[in-house]
Chains A and B, each alone.
Chain A
Amino acid sequence: MLTPEVLGSALPVGRFVLGLRRLLNEEPTLQHQMLRGEIARWSRARSGHVYLTLRDDDGSIDAVMWSSRAPRMDLEEGSEVVVIGSVDLYPTRGHLQLQVASIHAVDTIGELEAERRKLIAALKAEGVLDRPRRPLPALPRHVAIVIGSQSAAEADVLRLSEDRWPGLRRTVIGVLVQGEKAAEELARGLRVAARLADPIYAASRGAPPVDVIIVGRGGGSTEDLWAFNLERVARAVVSMPVPVVSAVGHESDVLVSDLVADVRASTPSDAVERVVPVRSDLEQHHDDLALRLEASAARRFAETRQHHRLLRHRLAGAPASGLSRARGQLGDLRSRLDQTVDARLTETANRLVERGHALQRAVDVHLGRQRERLAGLGAALRTTDPRKVLERGYGMLQQPDGSVIGSVGDVAVGDALMVHLADGTVTTAVEDVHRT
């Protein structure tokens, strides 16, 4: 029999539960605690609240996520998760539960990461990662860009490429770059690019074939970029007939598309800088080369002209005496050569100015022959130079009128004679004439 005293000392259960709740709420180790476990039950009520049970081998606890905190996607039972939550007691039913503020699936990213590693290992085993990379074309004639449709990255790529090469031929294929369909769309976009790179197909469309492909998107979270880690995209990149630049906006993570592409760019804009030269720079380089070509050729011509002058001077220095006929001939030849050389050089200079108009080859051959002939004559002259003979102790006889005496018939007794020696002239008279 319970006495009133006993009854009076008994706590009403509600007060006990509320006290217990206060205790739990005030215990810091039970608040905002990070817990790891697996989802044993997952149920979303019509209100949007999610009721779940977390468990591991040693225990389990019921939990609730209010609709404002619940993830949009349901998680599968059995998934490994990390939650942040606080212990609370639902007084009406005395039910202890964890109020979850946030939930992170360990498994989803873990599984994906495992798949990614498996894919990389497979690609490596197949030799795909070590295959030789193709160089980018020095000059792209048609760039295909597979990128987020209507994205900021697309706008950046178009603006930057237009700045570098106004009017460059580009085909942009706008695709989804995140979400479930991203990998499929990227692969299909790449297939379109590959078709445009087929020379026969391109010719039938009257456009040069695509010779380089940029595939990418702007930056985002690891999950946002995940399509670029999937096999479908990797295989599509590898199968492209022309060099591919992987252009996903990120610095630290390396994506599978980066590993398999011919060139890895850190952003879509970086890809443009690698692919599209600055046209005005190339034109300036051409202008430099044109100037240097003209200047160096002109210098060569001037040198040749100088060489001709030298030959002429040597001719002019030929002996004045006793060779008037040969000299006359040479003079003729010289003036003809002068004319020819001058005419040719003038012509060449004109052609230089016009840049690219050629001298007629035949004319050059002719000129070359003239030059050789002239050089030959010069050499012959040098060997027959009478002064060389005089140095050996011979004398050359000349009438006072300058005609050379080559025969005893040219003189009579009493004639005055000039004897040229190597270092001067002696005037003498004929005393006797005797024919041998």
Chain B
Amino acid sequence: MSKTPSYSEALQRLEAIVAELERGGTDLEATVKMFEEGSELLRTCQAHLDEAEGQLKRLRLADAEAELEEPQP
């Protein structure tokens, strides 16, 4: 895939893969491919969770506006 899928896209695809593997009937090569893709999707999902972590900022309106105007670092 050229671009990292969004969390929902990744999760949906992962759920579809697991469901298909659980249904059975995939051959060895397809199984390996799906397993690899699923593992990659899991990593993507987890990475999305980590991305939500960050700072808590509490600003009064005037300070928030002033900060917007500050020259960027």
Contact = CB atoms under 8 A, between A and B. Distances in A.
Interface of A: 138-142, 149, 154, 158, 162, 165, 167-175, 185, 188-189, 192, 195, 204-208, 279, 282-283, 286, 289-290, 292-293, 296-297, 299-301, 303-304, 348, 352, 355-356, 358-359, 364-365, 367-368, 371
Contacts, number: 137
Nearest to B31: A300
Given A192-B64, A297-B35, A304-B31, A289 B42 contact: yes
Grouping DSSP codes into helix (H, G, I), strand (E, B) and loop, the B interface class, with mixed when no group exceeds half, is helix
A367 B35 contact: no
A292 B68 CA distance: 47
B24 A358 contact: no
B57 A167 contact: no
Interface of B: 6-8, 11, 14-15, 17-18, 21-22, 24, 26-29, 31-32, 34-36, 38-40, 42-43, 45-46, 48-49, 51-61, 64-65, 68, 72-73
B35 A293 contact: yes
A296 B22 contact: yes
A125 to B, nearest CB: 32
A339 B27 CA distance: 20
Contacts of A283: 46, 49
Contacts of B61: 149, 173-175, 185, 188-189, 192
A105 B15 CA distance: 61
B56 A158 contact: yes
A171 B42 CA distance: 29
Given A158-B56, A195-B68, 13 more contacts: A139-B48, A141-B54, A162-B56, A168-B52, A168-B54, A169-B52, A172-B57, A174-B60, A208-B51, A293-B38, A300-B24, A358-B36, A371-B28
- Most interface-central of A158, A205, A365 (chain B CB within 10 A): A205
Q: Which 8 residue pairs spanning A and B have beta carbons closest together?
A: A169-B54, A356-B39, A296-B21, A300-B31, A297-B35, A138-B8, A139-B7, A172-B58
